């Protein structure tokens, strides 16, 4: 590995420069204003694939944002690794909470600060530059393919169709993804479970115009009060989701497995302190790790209506809105949940207002087997680079496409991420510690080595 590590050492400044250029394009997939940035970023990714050692690379059109593919086929007899990543990012709002411009990456305290610094431009760069180091030093004992999309943050609406149409192009033995977290640099971990997701826009309409809260207050249903009533009915006082049938497909996890998962080091006081919360709040009977790892959840991600300026505008607004997201566990079907949710909202709809529910996107959860070649290779690689054997963990996050890969392409995914929970992905001041970036560059080439050895 020494020539590989020497190559990385020599080029690591350039790697950062290239990453910063990619980050500086605001590829926010949820905002139609950034359409042009999406195309620009896709083209930049294609150029990066070619310059990093791919034999070919293409920007491919979809119904939405383009997908970038590329490959280097070293030998037909070698196993093939398909690298998946995404070049789109979350919106940066609220902008006023950022210390530096979200699209002008800056290094402070040994961390890169920018939207996408971790999720997923920074993490994808670990894969890209590990590949480059292997390719340029002629150490590739695997074929490598790339599939980099631009719609992950909006639920990958175009990718399943793309996969269906390009099964041959994407044929591989394993999909490798860096888009998840480690418990810590001193607590290496591999994500073996992901939650699924559903997401809804809710609109509550009361009167046909904003009303004076004095002249009408008390006689006309207020859509904000009614939205609060509705939201409040979604979770009971044991913090369980109240939608009838919601838990029907949740797999029972026995004590043995719960004990296994509880082995992951976790300090609840440090967790609460780092979040600035007095106490964790979640479903009765489960630990903090279980609440995000093996149990579903429901969060209002946004709410708005009426007057939000300074002072005392006395209005009974016409409309109120909320964005509601649920995280599902493996075996819960988002389509079934959509129906249950919409029916339930209809059944608890407050009097005097209209309620509309629009599903935005969804994805299934995923569980990865611990006895696979890929998991073993990942575990060996991390044990070598971190000096500690990693533990399997279940992430509360969702990468909906991972279960779609299995269904459509028949390929399992290994989630070897190098982020930290403190990286503030999806939040102001997203960051990625340089140490994690370099540790990733040290680990991924080892995965290639062990994977090809174990497959060979």
Residues forming the active site = 88, 152
Question: CB-wise, 170 or 402, nearer to its own copies?
Answer: 402
Q: Give me the half-sphere count of Cα atoms (radius 13 Å) on the Cβ side of residue 319.
A: 9
**Minimal distance in Å, beta carbon 121 to its own copies?**
16
**Minimal distance in Å, beta carbon 77 to its own copies?**
39
**Minimal distance in Å, beta carbon 453 to its own copies?**
33
Dist CA 359 CA 198 (whole Å): 7
Question: CB-wise, 14 or 304, nearer to its own copies?
Answer: 304
**Minimal distance in Å, beta carbon 289 to its own copies?**
8
Dist CA 24 CA 141 (whole Å): 34
Question: CB-wise, 5 or 427, nearer to its own copies?
Answer: 427
Question: CB-wise, 227 or 243, nearer to its own copies?
Answer: 227
Q: Give the residue from 414, 416, 408, 324 showing the smallest Cα distance to 362.
A: 324
Tokens of 205: 């309409």
Dist CA 81 CA 367 (whole Å): 19
**Minimal distance in Å, beta carbon 94 to its own copies?**
8
Dist CA 204 CA 227 (whole Å): 7
For 419-426, the CB contacts below 8 A with 24+ separation are 419/118, 419/119, 419/122, 419/123, 419/179, 419/180, 419/181, 419/182, 420/181, 420/182, 420/184, 420/185, 421/181, 422/274, 423/117, 423/118, 423/119, 423/181, 425/90, 425/118, 425/119, 426/90, 426/119
Question: CB-wise, 244 or 280, nearer to its own copies?
Answer: 280
Question: CB-wise, 157 or 260, nearer to its own copies?
Answer: 157
Q: Give the residue from 35, 12, 197 showing the smallest Cα distance to 107.
A: 12
**Minimal distance in Å, beta carbon 283 to its own copies?**
7
Give the strand pairing for 315-316 and 211-212: antiparallel
* Contact predicate 194/392, CB 8 Å: no
**Minimal distance in Å, beta carbon 171 to its own copies?**
30
Question: CB-wise, 431 or 443, nearer to its own copies?
Answer: 431
Tokens of 410: 């028949």
* Cβ neighbours of 125 (radius 10 Å): 26
* Contact predicate 363/196, CB 8 Å: yes
**Minimal distance in Å, beta carbon 264 to its own copies?**
14
Which residues, listed in sequence order, are joined to residue 89 by a DSSP beta bridge?
Answer: 28
* Cβ neighbours of 115 (radius 10 Å): 26
Dist CA 237 CA 239 (whole Å): 5
Tell me the H-state helices in 198-247. Answer: 213-216, 223-232
Question: CB-wise, 140 or 227, nearer to its own copies?
Answer: 227
């Amino acid at each position: 590995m020494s020539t590989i590590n020497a190559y990385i050492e020599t080029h690591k400044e350039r790697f950062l420069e290239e990453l910063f250029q990619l980050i500086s394009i605001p590829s926010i997939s949820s905002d139609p204003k950034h359409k042009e940035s999406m195309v620009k970023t896709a083209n930049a990714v294609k150029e990066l694939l070619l310059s990093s050692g791919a034999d070919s690379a293409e920007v491919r059109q979809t119904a939405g944002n383009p997908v970038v593919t590329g490959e280097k086929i070293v030998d037909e007899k070698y196993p093939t690794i398909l690298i998946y990543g995404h070049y789109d990012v979350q919106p940066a709002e609220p902008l006023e909470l950022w210390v530096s411009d979200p699209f002008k990456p800056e290094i402070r305290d040994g961390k890169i600060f920018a939207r996408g610094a971790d999720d997923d431009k920074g993490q994808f760069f670990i894969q890209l530059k590990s590949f480059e180091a292997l390719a340029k030093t002629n150490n590739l004992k695997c074929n490598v393919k790339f599939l980099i999309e631009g719609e992950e943050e909006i639920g990958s609406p175009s990718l399943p169709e793309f996969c269906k149409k390009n099964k041959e192009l994407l044929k591989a033995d394993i999909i490798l993804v860096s888009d998840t977290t480690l418990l810590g640099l001193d607590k290496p971990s591999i994500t073996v479970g992901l939650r699924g997701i559903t997401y809804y826009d809710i609109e509550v309409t009361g009167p046909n115009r904003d009303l004076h809260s004095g002249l009408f207050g008390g006689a006309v249903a207020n859509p904000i009060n009614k939205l609060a009533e509705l939201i409040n009915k979604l979770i009971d006082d044991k913090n369980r989701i109240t939608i009838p049938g919601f838990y029907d497909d949740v797999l029972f996890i026995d004590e043995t497995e719960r004990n296994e998962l509880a082995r992951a080091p976790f300090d609840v006081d440090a967790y609460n302190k780092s979040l600035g919360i007095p106490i964790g709040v979640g479903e009765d009977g489960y630990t903090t790790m279980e609440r995000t790892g093996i149990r579903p959840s429901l969060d209002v991600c946004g709410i708005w209506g009426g007057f939000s300026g300074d002072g005392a505008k006395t209005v009974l607004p016409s409309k109120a809105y909320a964005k509601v997201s649920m995280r599902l566990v493996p075996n819960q079907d988002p389509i079934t949940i959509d129906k249950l949710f919409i029916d339930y909202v209809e059944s608890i709809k407050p009097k005097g207002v209209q309620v509309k529910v629009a599903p935005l996107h969804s994805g299934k959860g995923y569980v990865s087997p611990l006895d696979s070649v890929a998991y073993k290779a990942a575990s060996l690689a991390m044990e070598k680079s971190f000096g500690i054997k990693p533990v399997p963990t279940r992430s509360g996050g969702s990468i909906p496409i991972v279960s779609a890969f299995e269904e459509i392409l028949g390929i399992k995914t290994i989630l070897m991420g190098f982020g930290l929970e403190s990286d503030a992905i999806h939040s102001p001041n997203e960051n990625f510690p340089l140490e994690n970036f370099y540790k990733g560059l040290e680990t991924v080439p080892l995965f290639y080595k062990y994977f090809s050895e174990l497959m060979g």
